[in-house]
């Protein structure tokens, strides 16, 4: 009886896995454009290998530019306040697969998964917005917001031009960030698990945490008052103009640029702090 149960369970699991596998489809190479009306949304979630272009407007809308036989495979569902865009088929080859999303001031959160690419060529103008990238997704954004948060996880990539009051950036699992940051109040960076960030710009206050073999290059990011916590095998190059509070431990390496007054709060293990010339 037990053996029979195991066989049945195995067959059921195999059938479920087969049922979840998407049908494969290739594009026709004939490009067409269609529009769709959608309900109002505050959250945008995008999956699969779709490229998204964000454009601000008076009302929400969707415009799809793709091979003509792929339009029906692009799903746009609004559930509550969340717009989800994904593909119902495994699109392996195509000439065009882009969706233009017109958003309003209501937009608060954007989440990208798989091989999605999110673009905002014009400024993403919002009061508060949070962007989350997972898997291998990418974001190329111009952001003008009072409060901006970016989360990059698992080999994701982002290139950001941010101007606003506060910016928060968290990277993990080999994420990669290049950013020009102009924060009028404060900026915060958390880097873990071999993540890499190259930052330029300025901020009056900044808090930086670097750990787990992460790398932060910020000698062109001018901060008046900086707090740095460097641990593990991390590598950091930072610039401060007035004050810097540094905690370094493990095998962290810190390169310091600028003429700020330095307070070494923690200096332990095999950590290295060195003065650098611009």
Residues 97-128 pLDDT 10s = 999 999 999 999 999 999 999 999 999 999 99
Query: Above 80 in pLDDT, residue 8?
Result: no
Distance, CA of 149 to CA of 102 (rounded, Å): 21
Query: Above 70 in pLDDT, residue 223?
Result: yes
The Cα-based distances of 214 to 231, 240, 263 in angstroms read: 9, 20, 23
Query: Above 90 in pLDDT, residue 2?
Result: no
Distance, CA of 270 to CA of 245 (rounded, Å): 18
| pLDDT computed for residue 19 by the predictor | 44
Q: Residue 150 has which token pair?
A: 């970016």
Q: pLDDT category, 11, cuts 50, 70, 90?
A: very low
Residues 155-202 pLDDT 10s = 999 999 999 999 999 999 999 999 999 999 999 999 999 999 999 999
| pLDDT computed for residue 17 by the predictor | 41
Distance, CA of 50 to CA of 172 (rounded, Å): 23
Distance, CA of 203 to CA of 201 (rounded, Å): 7
Query: Phi and psi for 233 in degrees, rounded to 5?
Result: -100, 30
Distance, CA of 5 to CA of 255 (rounded, Å): 62
Of 148, 198, 149, 190, the residue nearest 173 (C-alpha): 190
| pLDDT computed for residue 105 by the predictor | 97
Distance, CA of 245 to CA of 267 (rounded, Å): 11
219 close to 200: Cβ distance less than 8 angstroms: no
For CA atoms 34, 37, 42, 48, the dihedral sign is: negative
CATH of 31-121, one of 2.160.20.120, 3.40.350.10, 1.20.120.420, 3.40.50.620: 2.160.20.120
Give residues with Cβ within 8 angstroms of 195, minimum separation 6: 152, 171, 172, 173, 174, 175, 176, 177, 214, 215
| pLDDT computed for residue 20 by the predictor | 60
Of 160, 178, 262, the residue nearest 217 (C-alpha): 178
Terminal alpha carbon distance of the chain: 75
Query: Phi and psi for 270 in degrees, rounded to 5?
Result: -105, 25
| pLDDT computed for residue 7 by the predictor | 47
Residues 237-266 pLDDT 10s = 999 999 999 999 999 999 999 999 999 999
Query: Above 50 in pLDDT, residue 215?
Result: yes
Residues 135-161 pLDDT 10s = 999 999 999 999 999 999 999 999 999
Give residues with Cβ within 8 angstroms of 27, minimum separation 6: 66, 67, 69, 70, 91, 93, 94, 95, 96, 97
Domain ranges of the chain: 31-121, 123-277
């Amino acid at each position: 009886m037990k053996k029979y149960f195991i066989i049945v369970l195995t067959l059921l699991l195999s059938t479920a896995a087969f049922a979840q596998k998407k049908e494969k489809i290739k594009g026709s190479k004939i490009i067409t454009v269609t529009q769709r009306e959608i309900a109002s949304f505050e959250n945008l979630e995008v999956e699969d290998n779709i490229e998204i272009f964000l454009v601000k407007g008076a009302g929400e809308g969707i415009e799809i530019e793709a091979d003509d036989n792929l339009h029906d495979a692009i799903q746009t569902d609004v559930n509550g306040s969340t717009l989800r865009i994904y593909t119902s088929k495994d699109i392996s080859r195509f000439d065009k697969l882009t969706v233009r999303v017109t958003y309003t001031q209501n937009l608060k959160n954007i989440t990208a998964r798989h091989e999605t690419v999110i673009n905002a060529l014009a400024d993403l103008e919002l009061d508060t917005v949070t962007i989350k990238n997972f898997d291998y997704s990418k974001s190329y954004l111009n952001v003008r917001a009072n409060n901006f948060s970016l989360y990059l996880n698992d080999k994701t990539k982002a290139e950001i031009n941010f101007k606003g009051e506060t910016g928060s950036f968290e990277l993990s699992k080999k994420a990669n960030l290049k950013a020009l940051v102009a924060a009028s109040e404060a900026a915060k960076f958390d880097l873990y698990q071999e993540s890499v960030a190259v930052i330029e710009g300025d901020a009056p206050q900044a808090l930086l945490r670097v750990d787990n073999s992460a790398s932060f290059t910020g000698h062109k990011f001018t901060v008046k008052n900086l707090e740095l916590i460097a641990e593990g095998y991390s590598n950091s190059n930072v610039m401060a103009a007035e004050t810097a509070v540094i905690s370094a431990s493990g095998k962290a390496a810190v390169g310091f640029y600028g003429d700020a007054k330095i307070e070494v709060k923690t200096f332990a293990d095999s950590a290295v702090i060195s003065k650098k010339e611009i």
